[in-house]
């Protein structure tokens, strides 16, 4: 039976699906090229049991946070409480629509209002936009505001500074806003080189993008000097707070001298992420940039919440509607459940766990700096490479232990880098297991070198051609 017949057989004019009409179907097929039209769809005919087994089976052929240690540095792959999923799924949150009138969604507006206040308290910023859908989009939003600020002040600014260890999205966001990106080299100990910074700064500098702790997991102690140097040229200091779990409740970007910050709610604040799933790269600003925030913001008058579209100097909208609302619900629930004391403990635990791994591995894997680590630790496998196994081969061997590999070859300034972020949610037993696995892998480089050539050995997919996998992804699954 073709679809037209099925359609006519099943639809009456009382049926809400009837709006297309047979004519609609005909004209739709007229506009679809012949080769894409199928008379018959070869749909598999299987029972529920087969379908459930098939998909559950597929889901288990992967490494995942629910089942495995996942120390992917800079990504903050931590365990996200299931409670927050349940709360985000509540009818009143999940079944509302952005076109509903404000009076019908007061609860949602209140949640956004309160979340903004909590994020301001955590960062010391004045206001937050919850719109940007990812960290990279948050950076881009911030750069647009920095550009608007300089334009309003008639400043002639052409350059944005970034450290050479910066996350790749930083120079990309600045370049997308038309700025020339200047990389400032780090010192051998991994911190930003103030002398080189001074040499790079002049009146054309629009601002600097930094992350603190930096991408080597080290705290930039000279941050206030850096802020003074940038501000002396009326530049703005941008805080890449994608990984905020080292500092919550301990210090704030505002105290460090930052003017604008983005946070990845999908990293630090309890939304599972990866594979391009919904995120929220919320952006906070101090009074210098408050006028330029995207609209609308949520405001309150009496006991009513509403969308405030004023903001004459606003850069406009950066995303449809008001951001990824479900992510905001999870973040709000997470913050309320932990409270100020709990969030501080999260950070202390994240830093403790990274340093625990560092202490367990430092005699065998070279640590990138003598300075203490914050929430992540970067090792160099240069010595292991001399003995016959590269960072990539070590990472692949970890898969045989049922662990997701750490981030590899990033930051770019560390040779044979493995960047490990255990996060605060792992137990001591798990961390001990990781140390044991890494030490055994290290011993095997000499004792059992054949293990490394084509590891992983136990995973459903073995070594892939990574360039081809990225350039020509083939996502079909074959039984
Ligand atoms: C993850 C990350 C980003 C980018 O965030 P997305 O949500 O992936 O766009 C930017 N900076 C740092 C330091 C990050 O770790």
Q: Is the pLDDT of residue 12 over 80?
A: no
Q: Is the pLDDT of residue 413 over 70?
A: yes
Residue whose CA is closest, atom 3 of ligand 1?
135
- Higher-pLDDT residue of 352 and 65 is 352
| All residues at 6 or more sequence positions from 25 whose CB lies less than 8 Å from its CB, including other chains | 3, 4, 7
77 lines ligand 1 (CB under 6 A): no
Candidates 67, 81, 16; CA nearest to 402 is 67
d(CA 206, CA 226) in angstroms, rounded, equals 14
Name the helix (H) or strand (E) containing 50. helix 48-59
Q: How far apart are the first and last CA of the chain?
A: 29
On whether the CB atoms of residues 167 and 312 are closer than 8 A, the answer is no
72 lines ligand 1 (CB under 6 A): no
Task: Give the alpha-carbon dihedral of 215, 404, 265, 56, to 10 degrees.
Answer: 170
pLDDT tens digits, residue range 280-292?
999 999 999 999 9
Which atom of ligand 1 approaches the CA of 138 most closely?
9
134 lines ligand 1 (CB under 6 A): yes
Candidates 110, 114, 162; CA nearest to 139 is 162
| All residues at 6 or more sequence positions from 191 whose CB lies less than 8 Å from its CB, including other chains | 214, 218, 220, 221, 222, 371
Candidates 442, 358, 441, 431; CA nearest to 401 is 441
Pinpoint the residues of the chain covered by CATH 3.40.640.10. Answer: 84-338
Does 341-471 carry CATH code 3.90.1150.10? yes
Mean pLDDT of 107-129: 98
Given this model, what pLDDT does residue 311 score? 87
H helices present in 178-277, as ranges: 194-200, 223-231, 253-256, 265-268
Return the minimum-mean-pLDDT range out of 25-29, 87-91, 128-132, 385-389: 25-29
Separation of 270 CA from ligand 1 center, angstroms? 15
Which atom of ligand 1 approaches the CA of 166 most closely?
13
pLDDT tens digits, residue range 101-113?
999 999 999 999 9
**So what CATH class is 84-338?**
alpha beta
Q: Is the pLDDT of residue 152 over 70?
A: yes
User: Residue 74's CB: how many other CB atoms inside 10 A?
Assistant: 21
Q: Is the pLDDT of residue 13 over 50?
A: no
**Given pLDDT bands bounded at 50, 70 and 90, which one contains residue 143?**
very high
d(CA 65, CA 71) in angstroms, rounded, equals 10
What residue ranges in 113-197 does DSSP mark as E strands?
127-129, 159-163, 180-184
Average of per-residue pLDDT values in the chain: 92
Mean pLDDT of 373-380: 97
Residue whose CA is closest, atom 6 of ligand 1?
135
Name the helix (H) or strand (E) containing 339. helix 325-361
d(CA 154, CA 307) in angstroms, rounded, equals 30
Given this model, what pLDDT does residue 27 score? 59
């Amino acid at each position: 039976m073709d679809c037209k017949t099925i359609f006519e057989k099943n639809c009456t004019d009382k049926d809400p699906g009837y709006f297309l009409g047979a004519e609609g179907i005909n004209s739709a097929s007229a506009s679809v090229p012949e080769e894409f039209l199928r008379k018959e769809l070869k749909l598999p005919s299987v029972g529920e049991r087969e379908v459930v087994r098939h998909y559950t089976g597929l889901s288990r052929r992967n490494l995942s946070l629910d089942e495995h240690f996942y120390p992917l540095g800079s990504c903050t792959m931590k365990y996200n409480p299931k409670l927050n999923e349940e709360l985000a799924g509540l009818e009143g949150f999940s079944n509302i629509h952005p076109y509903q009138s404000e009076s019908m969604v007061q609860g949602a507006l209140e949640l956004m209002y309160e979340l903004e206040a909590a994020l301001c308290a955590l960062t010391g910023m004045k206001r937050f936009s919850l719109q940007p859908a990812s960290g990279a989009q948050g950076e881009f939003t911030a750069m647009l505001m920095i550009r608007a600020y300089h334009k309003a002040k008639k400043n002639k600014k052409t350059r944005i500074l970034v450290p050479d260890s910066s996350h790749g999205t930083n120079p990309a966001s600045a370049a997308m806003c038309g700025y020339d990106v200047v990389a400032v080299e780090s010192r051998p100990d991994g911190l930003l080189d103030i002398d080189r910074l001074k040499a790079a700064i002049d009146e054309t500098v629009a601002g600097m993008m930094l992350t603190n702790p930096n991408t080597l997991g080290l705290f930039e102690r000279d941050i206030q000097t850096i802020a003074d140097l940038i501000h002396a040229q009326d530049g703005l200091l941008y805080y890449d707070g994608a990984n905020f779990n080292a500092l919550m409740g301990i210090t704030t970007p505002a105290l460090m001298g930052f003017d604008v910050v983005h946070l990845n709610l999908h990293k630090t604040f309890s939304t599972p992420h990866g594979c391009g799933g919904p995120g929220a790269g919320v952006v906070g600003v101090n009074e210098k940039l408050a006028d330029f925030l995207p609209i609308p913001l949520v405001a309150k008058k009496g006991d009513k919440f509403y969308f405030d579209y004023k903001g004459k100097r606003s850069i406009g909208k950066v995303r449809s509607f008001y951001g990824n609302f479900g992510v905001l619900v999870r973040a709000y629930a997470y913050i309320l459940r932990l409270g100020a004391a709990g969030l501080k403990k999260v950070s202390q635990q994240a830093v403790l766990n990274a340093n625990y791994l560092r202490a367990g591995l430092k005699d065998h894997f070279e640590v990138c700096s003598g300075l203490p680590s914050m929430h992540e630790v970067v090792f160099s496998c240069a010595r292991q490479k001399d003995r016959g196994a590269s960072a990539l081969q070590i990472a692949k061997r970890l898969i045989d232990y049922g662990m997701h590999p750490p981030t590899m070859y990033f930051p770019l300034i560390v040779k044979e880098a493995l960047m490990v972020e255990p996060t605060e949610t792992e137990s001591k037993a798990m961390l001990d297991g990781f140390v044991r696995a890494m030490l055994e892998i290290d011993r095997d480089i000499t004792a059992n070198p054949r293990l490394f050539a084509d590891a992983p050995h136990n995973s459903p997919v073995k070594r892939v051609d990574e360039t081809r996998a990225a350039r020509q992804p083939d996502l079909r699954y074959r039984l």
